[in-house]
Amino acid sequence: MKIVIVGGGYAGLSLANLVAGDNDVILIEKNKTLGGRSRSFYADGYKFDMGPSWYLMPEVFDHYFQSLGLSRHDFYSIKRLDPAFRICIENSCYNIRADPYNNMNLFNSLEDDGYKKFDLYLEETKKIYDAVFPDFIYRDFSSFKDMLSPDILKNVSRLHLLDSMMDLSKSFFSSKSMRYITTFSSVFLGGNPFNIPAFYSMVNYSMFNDGVYYPENGFSSVVSSLYKIGRSLNVRYITSCEVSGININNNEISSIIAGNNKIEGDLFIFAGDYYNAESLLPPGFRNYSESFWKTRRLSPSAVLAYIGLKKKLAIEHHNIIIPAEWNDHFNSIDSGSKYIPENFSFYLSVRSKTDKNVAPENMDSIFMLIPASPFIIDTEFYRSRYVFAALSKLEEYLNENIIDYIDFIKYYGPSDFKSDYNSFMGTAFGLANTMLQTAYFRPLNRNRLLRNMYYTGQYTHPGIGVPMAFVSAEVIYNKLIKEKVKSTGEITM
């Protein structure tokens, strides 16, 4: 069987390996390099991962490699970070240690019995985690009936379905600091603490209990590992090639137009932007109408900066900066504001804190992310304005000069997400993981009318995040096994 996969991010790369073997697999990628949002680049002696930086849920990655009969350890190592991250809230900064027990004094200083409350919170998030893995996460939700599975219904009481992440946090903590520490991760799930369902606090269980990791040589090592496996399975990769058309015959895709090529196949799986894939179809063959997309809750976009610094900062690998009450910032995103408010929050990844190979000696490689509405005015002037405002705030926290030591800087914004990834409305992550955009309520992974067209990636179940992209590939692969594909090839490295 000839299988054509469109999109070379994590979902596309991991799926290609799963369906290879006896099948002829072609993966088509719009950009020059593979990896999707997890591409990397070099500039002036610095190396930058362009997107994902939090390596969470290592068991998901390991599960994927095991499903191929392989061990992740044979491809790259991971290092547990300690501190896991630093969070600065208004005028105070706190290092959150990898071992929860080592945070006892800190949490007790933030509120009475803070550590005892945190221990109870972690126990509750473990219940959610255990209820979600594996019955919920790895399940295919092709119909509403799948939501009524006995395996799911028996765990409903654990999932806090009517609560938000902030609701769950408030039920344990009274202080702003502890609530922020236990809910900031909602941003990386495509929303905010007030609209992301509480059951996504399973991410916090992984983060606080299992730890935050760094993959050897960064996320590019994960991408290169998937590529190496694919090459061993004879997956063919075509890069710098954008799909511009879909040819249909008898309710099946007969071929796609990619660059100057007409590529035929038996099965077509779109692992890029869902809306863009649908836009290539005649309206009568699309799963969803324009009105559907207009009513979706989008994830934030972002202003990103890649900064090479001619000095070392007294800062951690992961840093969350919340200068003031964060409601104004979240409201600006939800309302589709054209501007980022003055007291915005932001995130810094300083990989050179852990990896000496990403910056010249005694220098730092920095990745900055400022969440933003997809509809902000996206010009170089405003990008620079926001980034330098963040750097000025960082100078205040660290009480040292940073801006004068900038050696390299590159900006990235909503228009780049559109041009590089065909991202719907320029969002950074696609659709937010809200209650009404979870499981069956996310876009379906199969076209209703075209028998050989499927979708995978962050728009489909289980949603946003690198681990979830791997899971989405396994979900659609298991569906394909049942319906179309029998792959018996063996992997030899």
Say if residues 367 and 351 touch (Cβ distance below 8 Å): yes
**b/e code 366-383 from CB counts within 10 Å (16+ = b):** bbbbbbbbbbbebeeebb
- Residue positions counted in the chain: 493
How far, CA to CA in Å, does 478 sit from each of 59, 445, 456? 19, 12, 12
Q: Which residues contact 120 (CB under 8 A, 6 or more apart)?
A: 172
Residues 238-251: pLDDT tens digits?
999 999 999 999 99
| pLDDT value of residue 13 | 98
Least confident of 51-55, 136-140, 254-258: 136-140
Confidence of residue 151 (pLDDT cuts 50, 70, 90): low
Per-residue pLDDT for 491 more than 50?
Answer: no
Is pLDDT of 157 > 80? no
* Domains in the chain, CATH or no CATH each: 2-38+219-296+431-483 (3.50.50.60), 104-214 (no CATH), 298-421 (3.30.519)
φ/ψ region of 487 (left if φ > 0, alpha if ψ in -120 to 50, else beta) reads: beta
Q: How confident is the model at residue 152 (pLDDT cuts 50, 70, 90)?
A: low
- End-to-end CA distance of the chain, in Å? 23
Q: Is the pLDDT of residue 87 over 70?
A: yes
Residue 355 in tokens: 């990896």
Sign of CA dihedral 354, 360, 363, 366: negative
489: pLDDT confidence band, cut at 50, 70 and 90?
very low
User: What is residue 446's DSSP assignment?
Assistant: B
pLDDT beyond 90 at 9: yes
Specify which residues 237 forms β-bridges with. Answer: 27
Q: How confident is the model at residue 487 (pLDDT cuts 50, 70, 90)?
A: very low
Q: What is the mean pLDDT of residues 190-218?
A: 94
Sign of the torsion angle spanned by Cα atoms 129, 124, 159, 463:
negative
Over residues 354-374, the mean pLDDT reads 97
Closest to 366 measured CA to CA, from 330, 420, 407, 398: 407
Q: In what order do the strands lie in the sheet with 85-89?
A: 92-96, 85-89, 318-322, 346-350, 364-372, 301-309, 406-412
* Helix, coil or strand: residue 213: strand
Q: Which pLDDT score, from 0 to 100, does residue 493 have? A: 42
Residue 34 pairs in a beta bridge with none
Average pLDDT estimate for 292-313: 96
CA–CA gap between residue 44 and residue 362 (Å, rounded): 14
Contact 443, 460 (CB under 8 A): yes
Residue 270, CB-side half-sphere exposure with 13 Å CA sphere: 32
Task: Please list, in sequence order, all residues whose beta carbon lies within 8 angstroms of the beta carbon of residue 95, skipping any fewer than 6 positions away.
Answer: 83, 85, 86, 106, 316
pLDDT of 160: 83
Mean pLDDT of the chain: 94
If you average pLDDT over residues 58-65, what whole number do you get? 97
Spatial CA neighbour of 182 closest among 195, 170, 190: 170
CA 428/CA 430 separation, integer angstroms: 6
What is the mean predicted confidence (pLDDT) over 18-44? 96
